[in-house]
Chains A and B, each alone.
Chain A
Amino acid sequence: MWPWLQQLGSPRWFYELTGRWLPWLVASMAVLLTVGIVMALLFVPADYQQGNTIRIMYVHVPLASISLAFFPLMAVAGIVTLVWRMKLADMVAKTAAPLGAWFTALALASGSIWGSDIWGAWWVWDGRLTSMLLQLFLLIGVISLRSALEDSDGAARACAVLSIVGCINVFVIKYSVDWWNTLHQPASPINMSSEGPNGPEIWVPLLIMLLAVALFMVVSLILSTRNEILQRERRSQWVRNLLQQT
């Protein structure tokens, strides 16, 4: 396989590279989160129907959208593990599942709190809500499967297969609002000018929060994967040297 791709699979290379990137990623994440939250809470105008609950959108939408990235990520990592047997890919797959469960659970909770007053219901068996709940159960399933098989090579393979299967649900989540007309609204058009509804004062903070939450996902994944590397590679010389330096 191409040499650069093999280097990509080296846990030590990943550890050293992310060590250099991490301060920048954390700084930009912190700035974007602060700016996004301040804008969402203070500068976004209240909706004419939903009042101030529209501010929930700036937490709920980024969390829900980015929660959809976890199964494809785990599936790709799973395929790399199955085909090329790269340990690093399995480490990423392992750490992605719990974080994905957090994202999905919080998307469900924030949506539920939003809908409690606006829809008049904490839960409905709507297409999107149901498929998101299914995604949460699938992620918990992946976590349980790994721990039941005691984190062995067999666990890596089984979780890879379940992650690939779970990607089907991502399509259902994404297109549910187009396929079924139950309760959750479909995507809204945006306006480039400030005249009329859905202007930049609405979507600019949303874009910032989307970027901020995406960065948060990357940072959290990197932190957890680095721990996994330290744990699994603890007998190697480079980790021992690292410890002597700390």
Chain B
Amino acid sequence: MFELQFASISEFLQMGEYTFNVWSVYVLFAVFIFINLYYPLLRRKKILKEQKRRQLLQEQAPTREATIDQSKSELASSYGENL
């Protein structure tokens, strides 16, 4: 029932007189499949990376706030001295 329809690879690549028609459709199809599998995976990596960065910043937040408070008080006292 299922027989190989082409005698050689060059015949297969030529597809009779319809080389462009058949191959452009299959190439477009392959590109479409690839993009719609690859792009979600890429976006997932970006989301996870962004989340990790945010989480790291939040963990550092107490120490960062203390540093900011210290700089603020130093600035305020130096301003007071110049008055």
Task: State the A residues within 8 Å of B (CB).
Answer: 33, 37, 39, 41-46, 51-53, 55-56, 59-60, 63, 99, 102, 106, 109-110, 113-114, 116-117, 194, 199-201, 216, 219-220, 223-224, 226-227, 230-231, 234, 239-240, 243, 246
Contact = CB atoms under 8 A, between A and B. Distances in A.
B1 A230 contact: no
Nearest to B42: A227
Contacts of A109: 25, 28
Contact of A56 (B4, B6, B22): B22
A205 to B, nearest CB: 9
Given A42-B4, A220-B36, A114 B12 contact: no
Given A43-B4, A106-B29, A246 B48 contact: yes
B83 interface: no
Interface string B52-74: 10110000000000000000000
A46 B52 CA distance: 55
* Interface residues of B, dominant DSSP: helix
Interface residues of B, number: 33
A55 to B, nearest CB: 5
A168 B14 CA distance: 42
Contact of B28 (A37, A106, A216): A106
Interface of B: 1-6, 12, 15-18, 20-22, 24-26, 28-29, 32-33, 36-37, 40-41, 43-44, 47-48, 51-52, 54-55
B25 A56 contact: yes
Contacts of A227: 40, 43-44, 47
Contacts of A63: 29
